Amino acid sequence: MRRALVVLAAALVFAGDAIAADGPPAEWTVGYHGYAFLDVNRQESTSTARDFQSENHVMVFASRPWGRGTLQLLGTFTLEPATYRAEGEPELFQRGETYDGILLVDRQHPHDLFTQIAASWRTPLGAGRSFRLYVAPRGEPAIGPVAYPHRLSASLNPSAPLAHHNQDSTHASQDVVTAGFDLSRFTIEASGFHGREPDQNRWDLEQGRIDSYSGRVTYRATPSLSFQVSSARREHPEDLEPGSQTRTTGSGMYERLLPDGFIAVTATVGKDQTPDGQEWGNGVEAAWKFRKKHVVYSRVEGVTRDIFELTDKTQRPSGVSPEKTLVEAATFGYARSIPLLVEAGTELGADVTVYRLTSRLDPVYGDRPFSCHFYLKLSFASKGASGHEHHH
């Protein structure tokens, strides 16, 4: 963290040296937006897991002219360490991170209180081009699509994608430094960051040396349609898994506002190359809001899972050969806006997820596992902030 702060201070000094001597100091423009689900969660297999939880995020930002560009301060926070169980929320076939030295299987971990603490400085270079510097003790390196908590296509789905740890789990990394160029329709970015996943203490900021790197190229075909390809080399990201990891992702995102709603679609392919082989996580999700109050949404994905982990609910020992299987999941949901609060948008929603998997897992999950959610979602934003992207 100290390295990132040193680079942040150097960047601000560099930018400050370019401030014009005449004229009064520019004022800050500030804003915020966020959401909170109040969610009844049921996961049904050979046993039943039920929980009441809240998935929530709030994003705050402040910007002002600074030198020849614009300085933006970014913060993303969540109370999930208090609104989840310490070992995470039940979610069939999810895996990733640890609790008390045990791999989390069939559970989604809470995000850290500090999901992003960052500063970004962008300066124009002329002819539709610009340069951007991003520095974050906790933030998002240039890898993967927009993280699922901030995607419009996932905005009414309270569950993390099963492919989260193959696609966008790096959105809360330590000691991130990113430099990028906007070149008309292309953006080219490169990052250095600390590769280890956050630990189970969700209330603090970890630190570590910059030991990992990534690169991303984004192409904006139209104002509504964009594509990205990216890759990262992550140094020893997992507590219980030896070795480093190479993550490669590709995605397409379509978002279009309509007079009475929106259409949003995201398709993502993600692959983690580990010492034990390849792990894939691919999926498509979509949401359609119409008549100002109705939203239908879906997510279909396929992920690689280790049979030992799913049957024993723990990390596979080094002496046991890896045996991978494909798990497929399909979610279908509906939400309706209701006039509950003047200060916040409110939606009542429900969804169900069904799965397809090898019959070898029937003794553990049964032949027809499913999950469902019933929730109230609250959304809030300062004026003009609802479309703000947390990482740009």
pLDDT of residue 277: 87
Question: What is this structure's pTM?
Answer: 0.90
Return the number of other C-beta atoms located less than 10 Å from residue 269's C-beta: 18
The pLDDT assigned to 23 comes to 46
Nearest 5 degrees, angle CA 240-CA 301-CA 357?
A: 75
CA angle 238, 95, 192 (to 5 degrees): 35
Determine the residue type at 135.
V
User: For tokens 């800050």, what's the residue?
Assistant: 28
Could you give phi then psi for residue 359, rounded to 5 degrees?
A: -65, -15
For each of the chain's 392 residues, which pLDDT tens digit applies?
A: 455 444 454 444 444 443 333 445 678 999 999 999 999 999 999 998 999 999 999 999 999 999 999 999 999 999 999 999 999 999 999 998 899 988 999 999 999 999 999 999 999 998 889 999 999 999 999 999 999 999 999 999 999 999 999 999 999 999 999 999 999 999 999 999 999 998 899 999 988 999 999 999 999 999 999 999 999 999 999 888 888 999 999 999 999 999 999 999 999 999 999 988 899 999 999 999 999 999 999 999 999 999 999 999 888 887 888 899 999 999 999 999 999 888 889 999 999 999 999 999 999 999 999 999 999 999 999 986 654 444 33
* 8 Å CB contact between 327 and 162: yes
Cα separation, 175 vs 208, in Å, equals 7
Instruction: Return the number of other C-beta atoms located less than 10 Å from residue 377's C-beta.
Output: 23
**Long-range contacts of residues 227-233, Cβ cutoff 8 Å, at least 24 apart:** 227/251, 227/252, 227/253, 228/144, 228/145, 228/253, 230/142, 230/143, 230/144, 231/143, 232/141, 232/143, 232/170, 232/191, 233/195
Which tokens go with 191?
Answer: 């990052």
Would you state the pLDDT for residue 386?
55
62 neighbors 29 (Cβ within 8 angstroms) = yes
Give residue limits of the domains in the chain: 2-21+28-381
In the three-class reduction of DSSP (H, G, I as helix; E, B as strand; rest coil), residue 301 is classed as strand
The pLDDT of residue 316 is 85
**Distance separating alpha carbons of residues 371 and 43, to the nearest angstrom:** 4
Answer whether 31's CB lies under 8 Å from 360's CB. Answer: no
For the purposes of burial, counting CB atoms within 10 Å of the CB of 335, is it exposed (0-12), middle (13-18) or buried (19 or more)? buried
* Amino acid identity at 202: R
**Residue keyed to tokens 């280890």:** 196
Instruction: Give the model confidence (pLDDT) of 27-70 as tens digits.
Output: 899 999 999 999 999 999 999 899 999 999 999 999 999 999 99
Name every residue whose Cβ is closer than 8 Å to that of residue 48 and which is 6 or more positions away in sequence.
42
User: For residue 261, what pLDDT is reported?
Assistant: 96
Q: Which amino acid is it at 247?
A: R
Per-residue confidence (pLDDT) for residue 146, from 0 to 100: 96
- Dig out the tokens for 299 from the structure: 């997510």
Dump pLDDT digits (tens) for 13-37.
444 443 333 445 678 999 999 999 9
What is the separation of C-alpha 45 from the centre of its chain, rounded to a whole number of angstroms? 27
Helix or strand holding residue 83 (H, E): helix 80-83
**Which residues, other chains included, contact 207 with Cβ-Cβ below 8 Å and sequence gap of 6+?**
1, 2, 137, 174, 175, 194
Q: What is the CATH number of domain 2-21+28-381?
A: 2.40.160.10
